[in-house]
Amino acid sequence: MIDDASRTHLVLIPSYDSGPLLAATVREARAHWNPVWVVIDGSTDGSEQAVERMARDDAGLRVLKLAANGGKGAALLHGLLAARAAGYTHALAMDADGQHPGEAIGRFMALSQQHPQAMILGAPIFDASAPALRVKGRRVSNWWTNLETLWNGIDDSLFGFRVYPIEPLVRIMQRQRWMRRYDFDVEAAVRLDWAGVPPISVATPVRYLSAEQGGISHFNYLRDNLLLIGMHARLMAGFVLRLPMLLARRMRRR
């Protein structure tokens, strides 16, 4: 367990009915970083109880609780606002379902400290556990995301293991009612890029746990894909308005 606490960077883990994997994920995160904050997003399965017990004896762990489920983006925004109020400048978002590698936290945080103006984005390295439909489906979202940012370096639009500069992300989210559910990851990357926050993509292993391993997925193919379709339609409208600015920025990079 890491004892020395960062004053600028924290790990932020949103959780909704994550089961026993939540405690395992938090233990792994705490083994590699201090502090770690967990946002319980209206969970009803009691998974927060083990983490709350851990927090009683661990000053590097904090648990925030929302009364009702609002979605991943809403939970992260709640945590980001609390982190900003406490003086933190950057947050590494990490899923609670055991997919993301805790051992990569230090590498991502170091990159963020070297490039504080950037967002550090994980680019997943899939193994045999990855569902083929999910792998193929994200290629569509990645293509649209690259178009909307004129191929500015977002290698993957959906991978949730990322370090965000808190202030610009909070500012963007408070201006609109979107980015509260499954649309958060894509829209956060695109809108931060539009705001001039450069992406740095880092290849990162990802694992999908089976039900026998405790894996839980709240992804709904119909509902969430419809949400993504609407989101990209919204982003394309914004892209058209910003196209002159994006083209000028691309020319300056040459």
| Residue ranges of domains in the chain | 9-253
**Contact (CB, 8 A) for 21 and 99:** no
What's the pTM?
A: 0.90
Q: Which residues of the chain have pLDDT under 70?
A: 133-134, 209-222, 225, 254
The arrangement of secondary structure in 9-253, i.e. its CATH architecture, is: Alpha-Beta Complex (3.90)
Q: What was the pLDDT predicted at 250?
A: 83
- 196-211 pLDDT, tens digit per residue, is 999 999 999 988 765 5
Q: What was the pLDDT predicted at 253?
A: 77
Q: What was the pLDDT predicted at 192?
A: 98
Q: What was the pLDDT predicted at 240?
A: 94
Q: What was the pLDDT predicted at 26?
A: 97
35 preceded by cis ω (within 30°)? yes
